Amino acid sequence: MNAALVIAAKDLRQKLRDRSVLLMAVAAPLGLAFLFSMMIPDQDTFHATYAVVDLDGGAVARGLVEGPLAGLQDAKVATLVPTATEAEARAAVKAGDVAAAIVIPAGFTAAVEAGATADLLVIGGPSTLPAEVARSVLAAFGSEVTGIQVAVHTAIAAAGARPDPALAAEVAQGALAAPPQILVAAAETADRSAGSKTFYGASMAVMFVFFAAQFGVLGLLAERRNGTLVRMLAAPIAPATILLGKVIVSLVVAVVSMTVIAFATTLLLGANWGDPLAVAALVVAIALAATGIATLIVGFARTEEQAGGFIAVVALVLAVFGGSFFRMSQAPEGMAALSILTPHAWFLRGIDDLSAGGGIAAVATPVAVLVTIGLVTGGLGLARARRVVAP
């Protein structure tokens, strides 16, 4: 073990001097995580500020402001800024102080109560998404109001009474104020997926950890090419010690790569990887899996170049099928099913669970699967790699 650590320490010293390791293990995944999280906004964290101009002040207008719009604010999806005039609202949108403005014109309540057409105005800014969200909310409110109008008039007509506008308005206001009778249960289908910054931080980290893990075991073939392997074999150490030293290097580089990316995306992007202890368990497990697969490939390769090429292909294929580039929830059904064969999918599943507030117990299955992958592939790889050091 002592000689294995001596070999590992020497290799790590060499890797630190080799900037390509820093590029592949840290800079590239971190850069891509930044890029992807900027290009693809996090839908779970949508938020917009709206100017709300209530020129009506009537009951239905209040129902809109205190109902659906206040609901957006309560859900932390929107911030409402009461504004006195339409001109002020337009100026705020133009200045970028608000993402969009919602204008309730004077006479809105009266028009609704009279069963006439009532208009609502949405003033959009440069980004279309906040205005679209506002239009959707107002359209839903309009549908609700229309439904109530129809119901009230139908009830009055059925009672045989003469239409009484005051009564109809009173009944309609009561209906608007009443809580909805049908609630869509959300608890069971709550989205457990991590935010985009966490997702892309983790997905890029897991993709590049396979490149990081190659540096140790690939060193075995480099030693053979450089002629230094024969000198190591001439030393009074067991040949397996050399293999162990290389595996230690792969594990260390992989763990350091993942850890740096987790810290960097947390501090710089605000990613939320979850419980540190559970994250550490996942990181060690994926490092083991990546090292095992890299060892298996090296075991079958004849040269460094061949092994490096195989590892690159395997890393990219696993990344595509494992969900490193897009969430598996957006993938075709068959592909999502296939993803469970990849370490990436298990790792990202663990990160999703941790982002949703889970602890070490939540990642027990992903950790167990990843460790199993690492031990099986690593064991087979070491058995094959023994031929490199066998006398």
Partner 1 sequence: MSLSTSERAVIPAGPVLVCRDLRKRYGQRTAVDGVGFQIAAGETYGLLGPNGAGKTTSISMICGLLRRDGGEVVVAGRPVDIGATGAKAAIGYVPQDLAIYPDLTARENLRFFGRLQRLRGKELERRVDEVLAVIDLADRAGDRTDRFSGGMKRRLNIGIGLLHHPRLLVLDEPTVGVDPQSRNAILSSVAALEQEGMAILYTTHYMEEAERLCDRIGIIDEGRIRAEGTRRELVALVGGKDRVELTAGGTTVGPATAALRALEGVEEATASDGRIVLVVEEARHLLPQILETAAGAGAVVRSVEVVEPDLEAVFLHLTGKALRD
What is the number of other CB atoms lying within 10 angstroms of the CB of residue 95?
9
CA distances from 228 to 105, 148, 208, 224, 381 (A): 83, 85, 28, 6, 21
Two tokens at 391?
A: 């006398």
Q: Which of 2, 13, 364 lies closest to 216 in space, CA to CA?
A: 13
Is residue 390 within the footprint of partner 1 (CB under 8 A)? yes
CB nearer partner 1, residue 32 or residue 388: 388
CB nearer partner 1, residue 6 or residue 129: 6
Handedness of CA 1, 298, 385, 236 (dihedral sign): negative
Is residue 13 within the footprint of partner 1 (CB under 8 A)? yes
Which of 10, 62, 153, 192 binds partner 1 (CB under 8 A)? It is 10
* Main-chain phi, psi angles of 49, to 5 degrees: -105, 130
Smallest distance, partner 1 to C-beta of residue 235, A? 4
Is residue 383 within the footprint of partner 1 (CB under 8 A)? no
CB nearer partner 1, residue 220 or residue 315: 220
Hey, which residues between 15 and 34 contact partner 1 (CB under 8 A)? 17-18
Is residue 228 within the footprint of partner 1 (CB under 8 A)? yes
Is residue 1 within the footprint of partner 1 (CB under 8 A)? no
Which of 82, 160, 227, 334 binds partner 1 (CB under 8 A)? It is 227
Half-sphere exposure of 327 (CA within 13 A, CB side): 18
Residue range at the interface with partner 1 (CB under 8 A); choices 2-10, 181-189, 287-295, 301-309: 2-10
Is residue 226 within the footprint of partner 1 (CB under 8 A)? yes
Smallest distance, partner 1 to C-beta of residue 315, A? 25
Q: Please name the helix (run of DSSP H) or strand (run of DSSP E) that holds residue 164, with its range, or none.
A: none
Distance of alpha carbon 73 from alpha carbon 364, whole angstroms: 37
Burial 274-284 (b: 16+ CB within 10 A, else e): bbeebbebbbb
Is residue 277 within the footprint of partner 1 (CB under 8 A)? no
Hey, which residues between 231 and 260 contact partner 1 (CB under 8 A)? 231-238
Whose tokens are 């899996």? That residue is 289
CB nearer partner 1, residue 175 or residue 233: 233
Distance of alpha carbon 372 from alpha carbon 163, whole angstroms: 75
Is residue 14 within the footprint of partner 1 (CB under 8 A)? yes
Residue range at the interface with partner 1 (CB under 8 A); choices 226-234, 274-282, 288-296, 330-338: 226-234
Two tokens at 317?
A: 């294929």
- Residues in Cβ contact with 26 at an 8 Å cutoff, skipping those fewer than 6 apart: 257, 260, 261
Q: At what angle do helices 196-226 and 28-39 cross, to 10 degrees?
A: 160
Is residue 177 within the footprint of partner 1 (CB under 8 A)? no
Hey, which residues between 60 and 79 contact partner 1 (CB under 8 A)? none
Distance of alpha carbon 285 from alpha carbon 224, whole angstroms: 29
Smallest distance, partner 1 to C-beta of residue 14, A? 6
Smallest distance, partner 1 to C-beta of residue 230, A? 5
C-alpha dihedral (327, 292, 29, 362), degrees to nearest 10: 50
> If binding means CB under 8 A, how many residues of this protein chain bind partner 1?
22
CB nearer partner 1, residue 161 or residue 235: 235
Residues of this chain that interact with partner 1 (CB under 8 A) are 3, 6-7, 10, 13-14, 17-18, 226-228, 230-238, 390-391
